[in-house]
Chains A and B, each alone.
Chain A
Amino acid sequence: MRTLSYAEAISEATVQAMECDPSIFVAGIAVDYPSGIFGTTTEAYKRFGKARVFDTPAMENALTGIAIGAAAVGKRPVIVHPRNDFMFLAFDQLINLAAKWKYMYGGRAGTVPIVVRAVVGRGWGQGATHSQSLQAPLAHFPGLTVLMPTSPHDAKGLMMAALQHDGPVVILEHRSLFGLKGEVPEEPYVVPIGSAEVVRPGTDLTVVATSFMTVEALRAADELAKDDISLEVIDLRSIRPLDEETILASLKKTGRLIVTDTSWEMCGVVSEIAALAAEKGFHDLKAPVRRIALPNCPAPVSQALEDVFYPKASTIAKAALVMLGRTSSSLGEIDLVDDFKGPY
């Protein structure tokens, strides 16, 4: 099958959806620049022009409200935040209005099908306010769908699903994934919202991972396989709604659970899944659940500190070894070398 990068997959999903559905438009800072949000909006701009792909002032909150108001009368806006962190400014519209619209007006004001794309930064000194990952606070609120595709296949399929969904959807895209290549069908298709995927079957221990941490978990699994240790890796893909069934089925099989996410532990996605295991999978657990997330400080800029800040494949592999009471004589240099070229 043909391979595309993650960025190309998002672009293709956008273009194919826009061809079928004239109500879709794309708005946000820099979406019509030649660089087009890592190339994800460039092709849509070439095809559909400024009428449907347009730059806006920096107005995260109003832009979200504008998207809601357009969606209320039949549009399907896609708005883009080049970094998650700016989305804090949009929380009023996103949480107080979009998330509640359908319920709070008794279904009689219709629905507001907006898609909010937001990029998670990591490394190269992104620092405290350009590297955050907002799945936990967003998924807290009933009414919002929160997606974190990892593979190019899912980046396309979940984008297309979001563009057919009848409520507000937030898609968090990790910058470190934009260059990732994978098989992507050419024809339009949908990955169902609310479904996790077992991306590597295994028997000894389950790793539930989100976004880029899935890539790290797969590297850890590859390495441990050399010592005949079998990790099952689940790519969560959808934070809300959460696919409890896939997680609990895996836990039943392996009895051990590591949860790893691109954000912090406190009130985070890792904690939600640990709670799920405690509440509904307790009797399957052979060991305490281990959470692997960001350490409890903001992201530092210095490369020396950044190196120790982010959990990596080796962090997951070492935790798995401890949980399994195993050692590895040969745990090699498995961590990815960040080859990102700055500045942004």
Chain B
Amino acid sequence: MSQSHSGTEIVSRSNSLVLPSAEKSIEMHRSLLRVRMTEETLATRYTEQEMRTPTHFGTGQEAVAVGVCSALDAGDMVYTHHRSHNHFIARGGSVYELAAELYGRIDGCSLGRGGSVHLTDRDKGFMVSSAILAETVATAVGTALAYAMDGEAKVAVCFFGEGTLDEGAFYEAINFASIRKLPVVFACENNLYATESPLSVRQAPGSDLCDRLRAFKVTSERVDGNDVAAVYDAAVRAVQQARSGGGPVFLECMTYRWREHVGPMFDHDAKRSYRDKAEFDAWVARDPVRRSATRLIEQGVATAAEVEVWAAETKAEIEATVERARQAPWPAVDTLFENA
């Protein structure tokens, strides 16, 4: 790979990191667990063919969702893309409603109309996710425009993959945000692949996404996206700048998608060769959930036993919740035209 960032040089940056408080660290770790266990439970049950909705699992990328969402206030608004379960859960969305949505049940967050790529929980500050790249970048900018017009000290955030920077509409949106110094944070999850296409077929050698944003006068920072504390640290500063009228911020969070582009399998199990096992293993070794656990224990914030109990409790609770969602009623057929 000829790109300037393979992820390894980022790890060293977090050595000088100021860690969040013990309380915040625990809160974020428990959120990471919730996100991870939700996605893993859904992935396991997905193979039963009862969740009939194309699903893009975000396993491996949890620290971006948790780090950014932990830096937000309740009144801020999140938009996201097709790989959005992480953000939904990290923002406080209901596991039950998410699972019910995937099962196509009436208790789904979108009443079974949206599926995995069309989630909403606006009361929790999660406006929507959508399936088309760059769509919600513009809508986040629009929400930020409304906040700015009304003088509200709120921030809009948009999550997207680095594939979104292949879309022209992305640049229209960030340009306007920059011109108007809007309170918006662009949280890019650079997982090195768009579907199965590596950076090398999508970007000229030596491309630097942060540089692209700097050309639009947007403050930009590359972050270790597998270190929740590093993401949180950068997000706190980004949100502070956006909220105080300093204009938008772009965070390029380097991370890695463990599972296939769409569906629950691992690429090597599916005999796909677009990325090799050694690369995959190197990123799994940087598992954001395990790194967070290790740090909690090293810092004396929690014991190994406590961390294990949290994980087990979360897993059991989520498995029961997902099963409960599976048993929720279908939407009544005479509601087909509801909200049409």
Contacts and interface: CB of A to CB of B under 8 A. Distances in A.
Interface residues of B, number: 43
Given A61-B169, A73-B77, A96-B132, A103 B113 contact: yes
B145 A70 contact: yes
Contacts of B141: 62, 65-66, 69
Contacts of B130: 96-97
A65 B173 contact: yes
A109 interface: yes
Contacts of A69: 79, 127, 138-146, 156
Interface stretch (A51-59, A168-176, A265-273): A51-59
Given A56-B176, A106-B112, A65 B142 contact: yes
A25 interface: yes
Contacts of B173: 59, 62, 65-66
Contacts of B110: 104-106, 108-109
Contacts of A64: 138
A49 to B, nearest CB: 12
A75 interface: yes
Given A62-B138, A97-B139, A103 B149 contact: no
B176 A57 contact: yes
Interface string A55-88: 0110101111111111111110100000000000
Interface stretch (B6-14, B114-122, B238-246): B114-122
Identify which of B77, B121, B130 gathers the most chain A CB atoms within 10 Å of its CB. B130
Contact of B113 (A59, A92, A96, A106): A106
Given A65-B135, A69-B146, A109 B172 contact: no
Nearest to A112: B139
A290 interface: no
A87 to B, nearest CB: 14
Contact of B135 (A74, A93, A102): A93
A20 B135 CA distance: 31
Contacts of A73: 77, 143, 146-147
A106 B169 contact: no
A143 interface: yes
B335 to A, nearest CB: 10
A66 B145 contact: yes
Which of A72, A101, A102, A108 counts the most chain B CB atoms within 10 A? A108
B179 A75 contact: no
Interface in B97-153: 108-114, 118, 120-122, 127-128, 130-132, 135-147, 149
Contacts of B120: 105-106, 108-109
Nearest to B169: A61
Contacts of B340: 102-103, 142-143
Given A92-B132, A93-B135, A105-B120, 13 more contacts: A25-B149, A62-B137, A66-B139, A70-B149, A72-B142, A73-B77, A73-B147, A96-B132, A97-B130, A107-B339, A108-B109, A108-B122, A109-B122
Q: Which 8 residue pairs are nearest across A and B when measured between Cβ atoms?
A: A69-B142, A65-B138, A106-B111, A62-B172, A69-B139, A59-B172, A66-B142, A109-B120
26 contacts: A57-B179, A59-B172, A59-B173, A59-B176, A61-B138, A61-B172, A62-B137, A62-B141, A63-B172, A65-B139, A66-B145, A66-B173, A69-B141, A69-B142, A70-B143, A70-B145, A71-B142, A73-B146, A74-B146, A96-B130, A103-B113, A104-B110, A107-B111, A107-B339, A108-B111, A109-B122
